[in-house]
Chains A and B, each alone.
Chain A
C-alpha cells in the first residue's frame, strides 16, 4: 500500500554533540519534523506521544540500548511497528546483517555525512514501502 512521504523522525542518541549534528542534518537539511531523546527507554515513551514515521536510533546507549528498545517496541500490541534504522560506529558486516534480521530497515554508519543523512533515510523508506 502506498505510504505518505517520510516526515516525522524520532532521533535516539545519547551523545549530546551528535544529537545536535544529526538534528540539524534531519531538520535543516532534510526538512523532517524531529524529536530527540537520549535512551531506548525515553524512545519507547516518545513513540506513543510523538508518533514518528521512523526511528533513527543509536545501537550502544546506556540504560536501554537500541537492540533492547527495538525488541520492547516490537513486543507491544499492534500499531507499534514503527520502522527503525540503526546508527552505529561498529558496523562490522555480520553486525549489519544481524540488525536487519532484528527487523531494522537499515544501518547508518558513524561518522555519517550530514548532507546526505536525510536522503539515506528516505531511500530506505522508499525501498521498504514501494
Chain B
C-alpha cells in the first residue's frame, strides 16, 4: 500500500510536470488519473502537496528558460485554479456532509434521550403501579381483618344463642334471629369475596396451574353445589363431556368459578328445572358451558354483567343471598388462568355462561404440552 502510494505520488508529480511543460488534453487527463489513483491509494494532503512542489520545482527550473516560462506559468495558474475550485467544491461537499451528519447525530441523540425518558417514565409508572397495588392489597387485607374481628363475635354469639335457650323463642324473635344469622353469613361471604377479588387481581398470589381432568372436575363441582341447588328446587346435571378432555387450571380456583356459575344458574332457574353443565373441545381450547332455562339477562344489563356489585335487579339478588361479586371474581380468575369467559342469553330464553381454558393433550401423548413447556 505504502509503496503504491509513493509510486502513484511520483507518477502524479511526473504527469503534472509533463502537462505543465507541454500542455494538451492527454497529459492533463494522465495527471488527473494519476492524482486520483494517488488519493485513492491513500495519499494524504501532505504527500499531494509534496507532489505539487516537485512539479512546481521542476517548473520553476523550467521558468528559467525564458521561452517556456510564460506559457508554463499560465498553465500552472489555470491548473491550480481548477484544483483549488475542485478542492473548494470538495470542502463545501465535506462541509455539507458534515452538517448532514451533525444533524443526523443530533437527531439520533434526541431520539435516544426521548427513548430513555420514555423508558424511565414507564418504569416509574410501573413502580408506582406496583406500590399502589401493594398498598391496596395491604389495605384490603387489613380492613378485612378489622371487619372479621367484630364479625367473629357477632357470628359466634348468634350461633350460640340456641344452645343457651331453656325453651323455644317466640316466633317473631326466632325470625329476627334468623335474619341476623343470614346476614352475618352474607357479610362473611362478602368479605371473603372482596379478599378473593383483590388477591386475584393484584397478581400477588400465585395460581397453581396443573392439567386437570375436566369430566371429574365437573362432577365434583356438581356434587358440591347440588345441596344449594336443591334448596331452590333445582337439579344440577352433567351434560355431554368429550372423553379424555383436560385443561390447565388451578383446581381450587376453577372450583370456585364453577360454584359461582352453578349457583347463579340455580338462582335464576324456575323451581323444578335443571341446570346442565357440559364441556367440549374448541381448537386449542376446552369450552365449559353452564346452561339454565331461566328468564335470560335483560338487554340493558348485559354489558354490566361482569362488573362488581352489578345486579340486574338488586331486590332479587339480595333475596337470593348474592354478594354481587361472584361473576367479577370468576372473570378475574379465568383470566388469570389465561382463559376467557362470556355468556349467550336471550330474554325469556335462558342463559349459557361459558369459559374457555387452554386444552391439554391426553396424558400418554404429550404431558409437556400441558405444563407450559416449549
Contact = CB atoms under 8 A, between A and B. Distances in A.
B149 A114 contact: no
Interface residues of B, number: 21
Interface stretch (B150-158, B229-237, B278-286): B150-158
Contacts of A17: 150, 153, 157
B163 A110 contact: no
A21 B153 contact: yes
A89 B205 contact: no
B148 A111 contact: yes
Nearest to B208: A93
A89 B144 contact: yes
27 contacts: A15-B152, A17-B157, A18-B152, A18-B156, A20-B153, A21-B153, A21-B156, A21-B160, A22-B156, A24-B164, A25-B156, A29-B163, A60-B145, A89-B144, A90-B141, A90-B144, A90-B145, A92-B141, A94-B205, A110-B151, A111-B148, A111-B152, A111-B155, A111-B184, A111-B188, A113-B159, A114-B160
Given A90-B141, A90-B144, A110-B149, A21 B199 contact: no
Contacts of A80: none
A42 interface: no
Contacts of A115: 159
A112 B184 CA distance: 12
Interface of B: 141, 144-145, 148-157, 159-160, 163-164, 184, 188, 199, 205
Contacts of A126: none
A28 interface: yes
B48 to A, nearest CB: 79
A46 B144 CA distance: 31
- A-B pairs, top 3 by smallest CB distance, nearest first, are A21-B156, A17-B153, A89-B148
Contacts of A18: 149, 152-153, 156
